[in-house]
Structure 1
Amino acid sequence: MLEDVYKTIEKSSEETLFKEKGSKFFGYAFPVLSEEDVKEHLEDLKKKHHSARHFCYAYQLGIEKIRFRANDDGEPNNSAGLPIYGQIQSFEVTNILIVSVRYFGGTKLGVGGLISAYKTSAQITLEAADILEKTINIYYKLTFEYDMMNAVQRIIKEKNIEITNQKLEMNCEYTISIRKKESESIYTIFDNLYKVDIKMLA
Protein backbone atom coordinates (compact mmCIF):
# COMPACT_ATOMS: atom_id res chain seq x y z
CA MET A 1 0.00 0.00 0.00
CA LEU A 2 1.17 3.50 -0.79
CA GLU A 3 1.82 5.41 2.40
CA ASP A 4 0.27 8.78 1.68
CA VAL A 5 -0.35 10.30 5.09
CA TYR A 6 2.01 12.20 7.36
CA LYS A 7 1.80 13.95 10.73
CA THR A 8 2.64 17.56 11.42
CA ILE A 9 1.48 20.61 13.35
CA GLU A 10 -0.16 23.71 11.89
CA LYS A 11 0.35 26.08 14.76
CA SER A 12 2.99 26.63 17.43
CA SER A 13 2.47 24.77 20.69
CA GLU A 14 2.00 26.34 24.11
CA GLU A 15 5.26 26.86 25.99
CA THR A 16 6.07 23.91 28.28
CA LEU A 17 8.36 23.90 31.31
CA PHE A 18 10.35 20.99 32.71
CA LYS A 19 12.53 21.39 35.82
CA GLU A 20 15.44 19.21 36.83
CA LYS A 21 17.73 19.98 39.82
CA GLY A 22 17.18 23.70 39.50
CA SER A 23 17.68 23.81 35.72
CA LYS A 24 14.66 24.96 33.73
CA PHE A 25 13.89 23.67 30.25
CA PHE A 26 11.34 25.68 28.27
CA GLY A 27 9.98 23.66 25.35
CA TYR A 28 8.53 24.91 22.07
CA ALA A 29 7.18 23.26 18.92
CA PHE A 30 6.86 25.26 15.69
CA PRO A 31 5.56 24.31 12.24
CA VAL A 32 8.37 24.96 9.73
CA LEU A 33 8.79 24.49 5.99
CA SER A 34 12.37 25.75 5.51
CA GLU A 35 15.70 26.41 7.23
CA GLU A 36 14.72 30.09 7.02
CA ASP A 37 11.67 29.43 9.24
CA VAL A 38 13.91 27.62 11.73
CA LYS A 39 16.29 30.59 11.90
CA GLU A 40 13.46 33.05 12.51
CA HIS A 41 11.98 31.06 15.40
CA LEU A 42 15.41 30.67 17.02
CA GLU A 43 16.07 34.41 16.73
CA ASP A 44 12.70 35.18 18.34
CA LEU A 45 13.40 32.79 21.21
CA LYS A 46 16.83 34.32 21.78
CA LYS A 47 15.19 37.73 22.19
CA LYS A 48 12.60 36.30 24.53
CA HIS A 49 15.07 34.31 26.68
CA HIS A 50 18.09 36.61 26.41
CA SER A 51 19.68 35.30 29.63
CA ALA A 52 19.31 31.58 28.82
CA ARG A 53 22.46 29.57 28.22
CA HIS A 54 21.45 26.95 25.71
CA PHE A 55 18.99 26.87 22.83
CA CYS A 56 19.06 23.20 21.87
CA TYR A 57 16.87 22.08 19.02
CA ALA A 58 16.07 19.56 16.33
CA TYR A 59 13.98 19.89 13.22
CA GLN A 60 12.73 17.71 10.43
CA LEU A 61 11.62 18.98 7.03
CA GLY A 62 10.01 17.17 4.12
CA ILE A 63 7.54 14.39 3.59
CA GLU A 64 9.13 11.94 1.19
CA LYS A 65 12.62 13.41 1.09
CA ILE A 66 13.54 14.06 4.70
CA ARG A 67 16.05 16.66 5.90
CA PHE A 68 16.82 17.02 9.58
CA ARG A 69 19.27 18.61 11.95
CA ALA A 70 20.00 18.26 15.66
CA ASN A 71 21.94 20.96 17.53
CA ASP A 72 23.43 20.73 21.04
CA ASP A 73 24.17 24.47 21.26
CA GLY A 74 27.10 24.17 23.66
CA GLU A 75 25.87 21.17 25.64
CA PRO A 76 28.08 18.02 25.59
CA ASN A 77 28.03 16.20 22.23
CA ASN A 78 24.76 14.41 21.44
CA SER A 79 23.29 15.16 24.88
CA ALA A 80 20.56 17.56 23.67
CA GLY A 81 19.84 17.77 19.93
CA LEU A 82 19.67 14.02 19.34
CA PRO A 83 17.37 13.23 22.30
CA ILE A 84 15.07 15.99 21.00
CA TYR A 85 15.23 14.56 17.46
CA GLY A 86 14.51 11.11 18.90
CA GLN A 87 11.16 12.44 20.13
CA ILE A 88 10.35 13.92 16.69
CA GLN A 89 10.91 10.41 15.30
CA SER A 90 9.00 8.77 18.10
CA PHE A 91 5.94 10.99 17.48
CA GLU A 92 6.45 10.50 13.70
CA VAL A 93 6.03 14.21 12.90
CA THR A 94 7.64 16.25 10.14
CA ASN A 95 7.91 19.92 9.07
CA ILE A 96 8.49 20.66 12.74
CA LEU A 97 11.05 22.41 14.93
CA ILE A 98 11.39 21.54 18.62
CA VAL A 99 13.46 23.89 20.79
CA SER A 100 14.36 23.37 24.43
CA VAL A 101 15.71 26.54 26.09
CA ARG A 102 17.77 25.79 29.19
CA TYR A 103 18.44 28.01 32.17
CA PHE A 104 21.24 26.46 34.24
CA GLY A 105 20.23 25.97 37.86
CA GLY A 106 23.66 25.58 39.44
CA THR A 107 23.75 21.79 39.64
CA LYS A 108 25.38 19.88 36.81
CA LEU A 109 23.18 17.14 35.42
CA GLY A 110 25.89 15.07 33.74
CA VAL A 111 25.52 13.70 30.22
CA GLY A 112 22.97 11.03 31.21
CA GLY A 113 20.91 13.61 33.12
CA LEU A 114 21.01 16.02 30.18
CA ILE A 115 19.92 13.36 27.68
CA SER A 116 17.00 12.47 29.93
CA ALA A 117 16.03 16.12 30.58
CA TYR A 118 16.09 17.17 26.91
CA LYS A 119 14.20 14.04 25.91
CA THR A 120 11.51 14.77 28.54
CA SER A 121 11.32 18.45 27.56
CA ALA A 122 10.77 17.49 23.89
CA GLN A 123 8.27 14.79 24.84
CA ILE A 124 6.03 17.06 26.94
CA THR A 125 6.27 19.74 24.23
CA LEU A 126 5.07 17.29 21.57
CA GLU A 127 2.32 16.04 23.90
CA ALA A 128 1.15 19.66 24.25
CA ALA A 129 1.23 20.25 20.48
CA ASP A 130 -1.76 19.78 18.22
CA ILE A 131 -0.58 16.98 15.91
CA LEU A 132 -2.61 16.49 12.72
CA GLU A 133 -2.61 13.80 10.09
CA LYS A 134 -2.48 15.06 6.52
CA THR A 135 -2.52 13.34 3.16
CA ILE A 136 0.27 13.63 0.62
CA ASN A 137 -1.36 15.17 -2.44
CA ILE A 138 -0.39 15.39 -6.09
CA TYR A 139 -1.42 18.43 -8.11
CA TYR A 140 -2.50 18.30 -11.74
CA LYS A 141 -3.42 20.98 -14.22
CA LEU A 142 -6.37 20.28 -16.48
CA THR A 143 -6.83 22.30 -19.68
CA PHE A 144 -9.97 21.90 -21.78
CA GLU A 145 -12.51 23.72 -23.94
CA TYR A 146 -15.87 24.88 -22.56
CA ASP A 147 -17.72 22.08 -24.37
CA MET A 148 -15.92 19.58 -22.09
CA MET A 149 -16.92 21.39 -18.88
CA ASN A 150 -19.82 19.03 -18.04
CA ALA A 151 -17.76 15.89 -18.56
CA VAL A 152 -14.91 17.25 -16.43
CA GLN A 153 -17.27 18.47 -13.69
CA ARG A 154 -19.02 15.11 -13.57
CA ILE A 155 -15.73 13.29 -12.85
CA ILE A 156 -14.74 15.90 -10.28
CA LYS A 157 -18.05 15.45 -8.47
CA GLU A 158 -18.08 11.66 -8.74
CA LYS A 159 -14.53 11.28 -7.47
CA ASN A 160 -14.85 14.06 -4.89
CA ILE A 161 -11.84 15.94 -6.31
CA GLU A 162 -10.71 19.25 -4.85
CA ILE A 163 -10.21 22.14 -7.27
CA THR A 164 -7.52 24.41 -5.82
CA ASN A 165 -7.48 26.94 -8.64
CA GLN A 166 -9.44 27.72 -11.77
CA LYS A 167 -9.02 30.06 -14.72
CA LEU A 168 -11.88 30.42 -17.15
CA GLU A 169 -10.78 32.47 -20.13
CA MET A 170 -10.47 31.39 -23.79
CA ASN A 171 -10.44 27.86 -22.45
CA CYS A 172 -10.73 26.36 -18.97
CA GLU A 173 -7.86 25.62 -16.62
CA TYR A 174 -8.30 23.75 -13.35
CA THR A 175 -5.66 22.88 -10.80
CA ILE A 176 -6.79 19.80 -8.91
CA SER A 177 -5.42 18.14 -5.80
CA ILE A 178 -5.51 14.33 -5.54
CA ARG A 179 -4.44 12.02 -2.74
CA LYS A 180 -1.25 10.31 -3.81
CA LYS A 181 -2.62 6.78 -3.75
CA GLU A 182 -5.52 7.77 -6.04
CA SER A 183 -3.47 9.99 -8.33
CA GLU A 184 -2.62 7.40 -11.03
CA SER A 185 -6.19 6.22 -11.54
CA ILE A 186 -7.51 9.82 -11.68
CA TYR A 187 -4.75 10.76 -14.13
CA THR A 188 -5.78 7.87 -16.40
CA ILE A 189 -9.46 8.91 -16.36
CA PHE A 190 -8.67 12.47 -17.48
CA ASP A 191 -5.93 11.35 -19.85
CA ASN A 192 -8.45 9.14 -21.65
CA LEU A 193 -10.93 11.97 -21.94
CA TYR A 194 -11.06 13.37 -25.45
CA LYS A 195 -9.85 17.01 -25.70
CA VAL A 196 -8.72 17.24 -22.05
CA ASP A 197 -5.04 17.87 -21.37
CA ILE A 198 -3.69 16.83 -17.95
CA LYS A 199 -0.22 17.72 -16.62
CA MET A 200 1.38 17.01 -13.29
CA LEU A 201 2.56 20.11 -11.47
CA ALA A 202 5.94 20.00 -9.75
Structure 2
Amino acid sequence: MIARLTLVELATGEQEIRKSRFIAVAGPVADEAAAKDFIAAQSDPAANHNCWAWRLGQNYRFNDDGEPGGTAGKPILAAIDGQGLDRVAVVVTRWFGGILLGSGGLIRAYGGTAALCLREAGKVALIETVSGTATCGFSELTRLQARLGALPAVQVDVQAFTDTGAILSVTAPKSEAGGVDRLLADLTSGRSAVRWNQ
Protein backbone atom coordinates (compact mmCIF):
# COMPACT_ATOMS: atom_id res chain seq x y z
CA MET A 1 0.00 0.00 0.00
CA ILE A 2 1.34 3.41 -0.97
CA ALA A 3 1.44 5.89 1.91
CA ARG A 4 -0.60 9.00 1.28
CA LEU A 5 0.91 12.33 2.26
CA THR A 6 -0.43 15.75 3.09
CA LEU A 7 1.26 19.08 3.71
CA VAL A 8 2.43 20.20 7.14
CA GLU A 9 1.73 23.90 6.50
CA LEU A 10 1.40 26.53 3.78
CA ALA A 11 4.01 26.47 1.04
CA THR A 12 4.71 28.85 -1.84
CA GLY A 13 6.57 28.77 -5.12
CA GLU A 14 7.14 31.46 -7.74
CA GLN A 15 8.29 31.61 -11.37
CA GLU A 16 8.49 34.24 -14.08
CA ILE A 17 7.80 32.81 -17.51
CA ARG A 18 8.03 35.11 -20.55
CA LYS A 19 7.19 38.18 -18.45
CA SER A 20 4.17 36.56 -16.77
CA ARG A 21 4.48 36.07 -13.03
CA PHE A 22 3.13 32.83 -11.49
CA ILE A 23 2.83 32.31 -7.73
CA ALA A 24 1.58 29.04 -6.24
CA VAL A 25 0.30 28.68 -2.69
CA ALA A 26 -0.45 25.18 -1.34
CA GLY A 27 -1.85 24.08 1.97
CA PRO A 28 -3.50 21.22 3.84
CA VAL A 29 -7.32 21.13 3.87
CA ALA A 30 -9.61 18.91 5.94
CA ASP A 31 -12.76 19.01 3.82
CA GLU A 32 -14.42 20.68 0.84
CA ALA A 33 -15.50 23.74 2.85
CA ALA A 34 -11.89 24.25 4.01
CA ALA A 35 -10.69 23.91 0.39
CA LYS A 36 -13.15 26.60 -0.75
CA ASP A 37 -12.09 28.89 2.10
CA PHE A 38 -8.40 28.31 1.23
CA ILE A 39 -9.01 29.19 -2.43
CA ALA A 40 -10.92 32.34 -1.50
CA ALA A 41 -8.22 33.42 0.95
CA GLN A 42 -5.29 32.79 -1.42
CA SER A 43 -6.80 34.25 -4.61
CA ASP A 44 -5.71 37.76 -5.53
CA PRO A 45 -8.54 39.76 -7.15
CA ALA A 46 -5.97 42.10 -8.73
CA ALA A 47 -4.37 39.23 -10.68
CA ASN A 48 -5.41 38.15 -14.18
CA HIS A 49 -6.09 34.52 -13.19
CA ASN A 50 -6.42 32.53 -9.96
CA CYS A 51 -6.43 28.90 -11.09
CA TRP A 52 -6.75 26.11 -8.55
CA ALA A 53 -7.18 22.43 -7.76
CA TRP A 54 -7.77 20.35 -4.65
CA ARG A 55 -7.89 16.66 -3.77
CA LEU A 56 -9.69 15.04 -0.81
CA GLY A 57 -9.49 11.26 -1.17
CA GLN A 58 -11.49 10.31 -4.27
CA ASN A 59 -13.00 13.81 -4.52
CA TYR A 60 -11.29 16.56 -6.48
CA ARG A 61 -12.06 19.81 -8.24
CA PHE A 62 -10.11 22.19 -10.46
CA ASN A 63 -10.74 25.50 -12.19
CA ASP A 64 -9.05 27.30 -15.09
CA ASP A 65 -10.39 30.77 -14.11
CA GLY A 66 -10.61 32.10 -17.66
CA GLU A 67 -7.55 30.35 -19.11
CA PRO A 68 -8.24 27.99 -22.05
CA GLY A 69 -9.95 24.78 -20.86
CA GLY A 70 -7.58 22.17 -19.45
CA THR A 71 -4.50 24.41 -19.40
CA ALA A 72 -4.40 25.38 -15.71
CA GLY A 73 -6.59 23.47 -13.24
CA LYS A 74 -5.84 19.98 -14.60
CA PRO A 75 -2.04 20.49 -14.59
CA ILE A 76 -2.26 21.77 -11.00
CA LEU A 77 -4.24 18.65 -10.02
CA ALA A 78 -1.68 16.51 -11.87
CA ALA A 79 1.09 18.12 -9.76
CA ILE A 80 -0.83 17.23 -6.56
CA ASP A 81 -1.39 13.64 -7.72
CA GLY A 82 2.15 13.32 -9.06
CA GLN A 83 3.52 13.72 -5.54
CA GLY A 84 0.98 11.35 -3.94
CA LEU A 85 -0.68 14.13 -1.95
CA ASP A 86 -4.15 14.14 -0.43
CA ARG A 87 -6.18 16.70 1.53
CA VAL A 88 -4.32 19.47 -0.31
CA ALA A 89 -5.42 22.59 -2.19
CA VAL A 90 -3.23 24.67 -4.53
CA VAL A 91 -3.91 28.11 -6.01
CA VAL A 92 -1.67 29.37 -8.82
CA THR A 93 -2.06 33.09 -9.47
CA ARG A 94 -0.94 34.65 -12.75
CA TRP A 95 -0.15 38.24 -13.59
CA PHE A 96 -0.09 38.45 -17.41
CA GLY A 97 3.14 39.86 -18.83
CA GLY A 98 1.93 40.61 -22.36
CA ILE A 99 3.32 37.53 -24.14
CA LEU A 100 0.92 34.68 -25.00
CA LEU A 101 2.21 31.28 -23.90
CA GLY A 102 -0.04 29.00 -25.95
CA SER A 103 -1.77 25.91 -24.56
CA GLY A 104 1.43 23.89 -24.06
CA GLY A 105 3.16 26.82 -22.41
CA LEU A 106 0.25 27.39 -20.03
CA ILE A 107 0.11 23.71 -19.07
CA ARG A 108 3.85 23.74 -18.31
CA ALA A 109 3.64 27.07 -16.46
CA TYR A 110 0.71 26.20 -14.19
CA GLY A 111 1.69 22.58 -13.61
CA GLY A 112 5.36 23.48 -13.19
CA THR A 113 4.71 26.28 -10.69
CA ALA A 114 2.43 24.01 -8.64
CA ALA A 115 5.00 21.18 -8.74
CA LEU A 116 7.81 23.56 -7.73
CA CYS A 117 5.78 24.72 -4.74
CA LEU A 118 4.81 21.16 -3.70
CA ARG A 119 8.36 19.77 -4.05
CA GLU A 120 9.63 22.28 -1.48
CA ALA A 121 6.70 21.80 0.93
CA GLY A 122 6.99 19.91 4.21
CA LYS A 123 5.00 16.68 4.06
CA VAL A 124 3.65 14.22 6.61
CA ALA A 125 2.07 10.77 6.26
CA LEU A 126 -1.71 10.84 6.29
CA ILE A 127 -2.98 8.30 8.80
CA GLU A 128 -6.61 7.24 8.58
CA THR A 129 -8.20 7.20 12.03
CA VAL A 130 -11.39 5.85 13.57
CA SER A 131 -13.26 7.13 16.61
CA GLY A 132 -15.51 5.39 19.08
CA THR A 133 -16.68 5.19 22.66
CA ALA A 134 -16.13 2.74 25.51
CA THR A 135 -17.47 2.50 29.04
CA CYS A 136 -15.47 1.49 32.08
CA GLY A 137 -15.79 1.39 35.84
CA PHE A 138 -14.13 3.91 38.15
CA SER A 139 -11.64 1.25 39.32
CA GLU A 140 -10.42 0.73 35.73
CA LEU A 141 -10.44 4.33 34.54
CA THR A 142 -6.91 5.43 35.47
CA ARG A 143 -5.31 2.20 34.23
CA LEU A 144 -7.22 2.36 30.92
CA GLN A 145 -6.29 6.00 30.32
CA ALA A 146 -2.63 5.30 31.07
CA ARG A 147 -2.30 2.11 28.98
CA LEU A 148 -4.31 3.32 25.99
CA GLY A 149 -2.75 6.79 26.13
CA ALA A 150 0.72 5.23 26.02
CA LEU A 151 0.01 3.83 22.55
CA PRO A 152 1.38 6.02 19.75
CA ALA A 153 -1.31 8.01 17.94
CA VAL A 154 -4.12 6.77 20.25
CA GLN A 155 -6.06 9.50 22.01
CA VAL A 156 -8.31 8.81 25.00
CA ASP A 157 -10.49 11.41 26.72
CA VAL A 158 -13.24 11.17 29.33
CA GLN A 159 -16.43 12.11 27.56
CA ALA A 160 -18.80 11.81 30.52
CA PHE A 161 -19.08 10.30 34.00
CA THR A 162 -21.86 7.89 34.95
CA ASP A 163 -22.99 6.46 38.30
CA THR A 164 -20.63 3.51 37.90
CA GLY A 165 -17.75 4.86 35.84
CA ALA A 166 -16.97 6.83 32.71
CA ILE A 167 -17.63 6.95 29.00
CA LEU A 168 -14.36 7.32 27.12
CA SER A 169 -13.84 8.83 23.70
CA VAL A 170 -11.18 6.86 21.78
CA THR A 171 -9.45 7.84 18.53
CA ALA A 172 -6.91 5.48 16.95
CA PRO A 173 -5.25 4.76 13.61
CA LYS A 174 -7.58 2.46 11.68
CA SER A 175 -4.83 -0.15 11.43
CA GLU A 176 -4.56 -0.31 15.24
CA ALA A 177 -8.28 -0.50 16.13
CA GLY A 178 -8.15 -4.28 16.64
CA GLY A 179 -5.21 -3.96 19.04
CA VAL A 180 -7.06 -1.27 21.03
CA ASP A 181 -10.08 -3.61 21.27
CA ARG A 182 -7.93 -6.48 22.57
CA LEU A 183 -6.12 -4.30 25.10
CA LEU A 184 -9.39 -2.87 26.41
CA ALA A 185 -10.89 -6.36 26.73
CA ASP A 186 -7.76 -7.64 28.54
CA LEU A 187 -7.66 -4.71 30.98
CA THR A 188 -11.35 -5.02 31.89
CA SER A 189 -11.60 -8.83 31.76
CA GLY A 190 -13.96 -8.53 28.81
CA ARG A 191 -16.40 -6.08 30.46
CA SER A 192 -15.63 -3.24 28.06
CA ALA A 193 -15.23 -2.83 24.30
CA VAL A 194 -14.96 0.10 21.94
CA ARG A 195 -17.99 0.86 19.82
CA TRP A 196 -16.32 2.27 16.70
CA ASN A 197 -18.24 4.82 14.64
CA GLN A 198 -18.89 3.77 11.07
Provide TM-score, normalisation by structure 2: 0.85
Give the aligned CA root-mean-square deviation in angstroms.
2.4
Question: Are the counterparts in 2 of residues 140 and 176 from structure 1 also a CA contact under 8 Å?
Answer: yes
Task: Tell me if 1:183 matches 2:177.
Answer: yes
Q: Which runs of 4 or more aligned residues in structure 1 lie more than 6 Å from their structure 2 counterparts after TM superposition?
A: none
Cα deviation for residue 161 of structure 1 reads: 6.7
Gaps in structure 1 of 5+ consecutive residues: none
Cα deviation for residue 116 of structure 1 reads: 0.7
d(CA) in 2 for partners of 1:57, 1:27: 9
Q: Deviations over 1:111-135 (max 9, x none)?
A: 0111111111001110232111132
d(CA) in 1 for partners of 2:13, 2:178: 44
Alignment of 1:82-121 (within 5 A): 82-121=74-113
Gaps in structure 2 of 5+ consecutive residues: none
Alignment of 1:44-193 (within 5 A): 44-46=41-43, 49-62=44-57, 66-149=58-141, 152-153=144-145, 155-156=147-148, 162-167=154-159, 169-170=161-162, 171-191=165-185, 193=189
Question: Are the counterparts in 1 of residues 181 and 193 from structure 2 also a CA contact under 8 Å?
Answer: no
Residue 63 of structure 2 aligns to which amino acid in structure 1?
A: N
Task: Tell me if 1:201 matches 2:164.
Answer: no
Cα deviation for residue 136 of structure 1 reads: 1.6
Say how many residue pairs are matched: 194
Aligned residue in 1 for 2:26: 29
Question: Are the counterparts in 1 of residues 153 and 173 from structure 2 also a CA contact under 8 Å?
Answer: no
Question: Are the counterparts in 1 of residues 148 and 180 from structure 2 also a CA contact under 8 Å?
Answer: no
Provide TM-score, normalisation by structure 1: 0.83
Q: Which has the higher contact order (CA 8 A, sep 6+)?
A: 1
d(CA) in 2 for partners of 1:117, 1:159: 46
Q: State the secondary structure of the residue aligned to 1:126.
A: helix
d(CA) in 1 for partners of 2:67, 2:99: 14
